[in-house]
Amino acid sequence: MLDVNMKRAHLEQMRDYRQTLMKKPELRNLFLELTLRCNERCLHCGSQCGDVTSEEISVEQYRQFLKQLKEDMSEKGKMLDITGGEPLLRKDFFDILGAAHELGFEWGMTSNGTLIDDHVARELKRTGMKTISVSIDGLENTHDEFRRTPGGYKKAMEGIENLLRVGGFEHIQVTTVVTHKSITELDELYRIFNDIDIDSWRVVNMEPMGRAKTHPELLLTDDDYRTLMEFIRNKRIAGEPVSYGCSHYLGMEYEREVRDWYFLCTAGIYTASISANGDIAACLDIERRPEFVQGNILRDRFSEVWENKFEVFRRDLADDNPTCAKCDQKEFCHGDSYHSWDFDNNKPQLCFKDILF
Amino acid sequence: MKKSIFTVMTAAMFAAANLSAIPSDAADNGGSRMNVDPVETVTLSDRDWNREQLKEGENDGQEVSTTTTSPVTTTEMTTLTNTTTQTLYGPPWMLRTTTTTTMPVLLYGPPPTTTTLDRDLEENLEKMRGDVNGDEVIDTFDAIALRRAILFDEYKDQRAKLLSDINSDGKIDVTDLVLLQRFLLGAIKDFRDNNSTSMSDKTTTKEKLRTTTTTTTTKTSDAIFTTSYDPRGDIVVTLYGIKPSIDRIRDFTDNSFKDILDIVEAAETEETEQQEDK
């Protein structure tokens, strides 16, 4: 383990910085959920894709919104994070992102990779895509079963190969959502990914949210979580570009060791999102409740909403729960990731205390 | 998967804490038996090899000059090396490595050449050993440079390559990095003599400055990770790799980040150029 005193000091700095950010937030990531349509039916989907209607806004509406955003807040230092559903299902995908590119925005996307043939890869390059994260959730059978898409694994791997062949992207990442069933496949997956020229492998646990709530048997056990963290740390010690995701406070044992930064839930302080229907919120992973919708880009000016609303995200959730309020890690965890909070019962749905630390 | 300057820096950070990775095959077997990092060896060229041989028998005060001849037969040299290895958890243990070096056979090689060695380098080799990046200071940046050198076989120049052979065993590998890290941690005071203080004397103003501005630890080798830390520069990656990128961080950070940012930018530029060349 790295030096605990060093980590504690850094976490204290991060705690103080977070307080500053809550008073003076700074937009770095803007998620655009282009659609809720998807060609897969993943067991862990947080957006309930396929079960809900996808209201979508037009190319021209996106163009106007981005123009306004550029005028008010500048495009510099901001990343548009394109997501869905499967965003490539939109026929006007390249019109929207072409407009963003013309306005000078940098953008990246997440995709299941199944629609990325050679032509699409070249179009992604032409319209300025910088980074992409493609989902591979296990070995072939596991992946296809988990995403309920026969042939999905092969298509996704072909998609990655097409991206690598076309080249010119800043970062090609594979993301794996690990379940209790797939955790035994990590070593084999590593061998597969290590043989291809991707830039990084992001390994995260299945979160108890969305459709995943109906599959508790797939959630990781306490031992699984420890195995996952040890796996990632070990790869990083060896200099491999493997990382955990942005979620969850991991305690002194694993903070800064399984990812390149200290825990900071960026929802509402670095991160905002535009839902498929134009609603303005913080992070798309957060439960879709009416009180979390801060406005809509079709009727509100985003910069004003960002400046004057979002209070609900700029506070410590730990204050709402007596156990959390007394926890000795509260100042670093502050209630953990916003998306994993149970707002009905005011408690975290996933807390690593007594599991990892 | 690609190595990047970020992964190298991460590995260097772990190396500074004396943490070694468990190879996958050991992990498959339950991970209970600890192994060392896979040792990646950089074999010295004939010229370097000759220089190293010459160093072994250097004559005090004499002009260092020799005539070398390309070997015409195969020569096998077997050396036994004792290496202290730190396990992920638990005490360090000794590993005995047998290295067999085969000199190349050059039946029709170049004619014998006369080489005059850099007298200054020869005289100061021991004092300068470890200064991998050539800035005349031995610090964490040398560890980063050495890690990179081992991974990519990249050296600033021949001088840097010679000075990277920290343990003077004729090859550049992880054992050199471990030795350098131990020196930076203060575990040893000299690369050859553990009781000597001569190398610590070489810790100059730049290093002292880092140490004095450290607020959280007194370990010199941690200075880069402590004094340089600024939460504004933490790149919280949600899904999309390393963006928002370096320009954003540079806006926020003071000069304490400059060295790292320069390294990262240089690596990114190099990578871009390589991609364009392809």
Complex ipTM > 0.95: no
pLDDT of residue B112: 37
pLDDT of residue B65: 33
User: Which residue in B24, B216, B247 is closest to A9 by CB distance?
Assistant: B216
Give pLDDT tens digits for A131-157. 999 999 999 999 999 999 999 999 999
Label residue B172 exposed, middle or buried (CB < 10 Å: 0-12, 13-18, 19+). buried
Q: How far is A234 from chain B (nearest CA, A)?
A: 5
Q: Which residues in chain A are closer than 8 Å to B275, comparing Cβ atoms?
A: 167-168
Q: How far is A259 from chain B (nearest CA, A)?
A: 9
Give pLDDT tens digits for A245-268. 999 999 999 999 999 889 999 999
Of the candidates B180, B272, B240, B214, which has an alpha carbon nearest to the alpha carbon of residue A108? B240
pLDDT for residue B60 is more than 60: no
Chain B contact present for A77, CB below 8 A? yes
Of the candidates B84, B94, B52, B78, which has an alpha carbon nearest to the alpha carbon of residue B175? B84
Distances (CA, A) of A3 to A254, B16, B233: 11, 10, 20
Give the mean model confidence (pLDDT) for residues B37-50.
41
User: Residue B258 contacts by C-beta under 8 Å, 6 or more apart in sequence?
Assistant: none
DSSP E strands, A199-322: 200-205, 242-243, 271-274, 279-281, 295-296
Q: Which residue of B has its CA nearest to A79?
A: B244
User: Which residue in A130, A168, A201 is closest to B1 by CB distance?
Assistant: A201
pLDDT higher at B263 or B202: B263
The confidence band for A52, taking pLDDT boundaries of 50, 70 and 90, is: confident
pLDDT of residue B175: 75
Give pLDDT tens digits for B148-207. 787 777 788 888 888 898 888 888 877 787 788 778 766 677 787 543 333 333 333 333
Give pLDDT tens digits for A281-314. 999 999 999 999 999 999 999 999 999 999 999 9
Distances (CA, A) of B43 to A92, B40, B69, B112, B126: 55, 10, 19, 21, 20
Give pLDDT tens digits for B111-148. 333 334 466 666 677 778 888 888 888 877 787 788 77
Beta-carbon count within 10 A of B137 CB: 17
pLDDT of residue B264: 61
Which residues, in sequence order, are bridge partners of residue A32? A82, A274
Alpha helical stretches, state H, A24-139: 59-73, 93-102, 118-126
pLDDT for residue B59 is more than 80: no
Chain B contact present for A130, CB below 8 A? yes
User: Residue B59 contacts by C-beta under 8 Å, 6 or more apart in sequence?
Assistant: none
pLDDT of residue A62: 98
User: Which residue in A190, A257, A262 is closest to B24 by CB distance?
Assistant: A190
Give pLDDT tens digits for A53-85. 889 999 999 999 999 999 999 998 899 999 999
pLDDT for residue B24 is more than 70: no
pLDDT of residue B258: 56
pLDDT of residue B25: 54
Averaged confidence pLDDT in chain B: 55
Which residues, in sequence order, are bridge partners of residue B68? B113
Give pLDDT tens digits for A21-51. 999 999 999 999 999 999 999 998 877 787 7
pLDDT for residue B227 is more than 60: no
pLDDT of residue A317: 95
Chain B contact present for A128, CB below 8 A? no
Taking only residues 173 to 202 of chain A, the set having a beta carbon closer than 8 angstroms to any beta carbon of chain B reads: 173, 175, 187, 190-191, 193-194, 196-202
The confidence band for A216, taking pLDDT boundaries of 50, 70 and 90, is: very high
A14 to B234: CB separation less than 8 angstroms, yes or no: yes
pLDDT of residue B5: 65
Q: How far is B172 from chain A (nearest CA, A)?
A: 17
pLDDT for residue B35 is more than 70: no
Averaged confidence pLDDT in chain A: 94
Chain B contact present for A337, CB below 8 A? no
A13 to B229: CB separation less than 8 angstroms, yes or no: yes
A237 to B19: CB separation less than 8 angstroms, yes or no: yes
The confidence band for A326, taking pLDDT boundaries of 50, 70 and 90, is: very high
Chain A contact present for B24, CB below 8 A? yes
The confidence band for B232, taking pLDDT boundaries of 50, 70 and 90, is: confident
Give the mean model confidence (pLDDT) for residues B50-71.
38
d(CA A227, CA A218): 15
Q: How far is A299 from chain B (nearest CA, A)?
A: 28
User: Which residue in A10, A79, A198 is closest to B240 by CB distance?
Assistant: A79
Q: Which residue of B has its CA nearest to A167?
A: B275
Global pTM exceeds 0.90? no
Contact assessment for residue A143 and residue A153, using Cβ atoms and an 8 Å cutoff = yes
The confidence band for B2, taking pLDDT boundaries of 50, 70 and 90, is: confident
Which residues, in sequence order, are bridge partners of residue B80? B98
Alpha helical stretches, state H, A147-301: 152-166, 186-194, 222-237, 251-254
pLDDT of residue B156: 81
Ranked by mean pLDDT, the top range of A313-322, B104-113, B181-190, B239-248 is A313-322
pLDDT higher at B71 or A306: A306
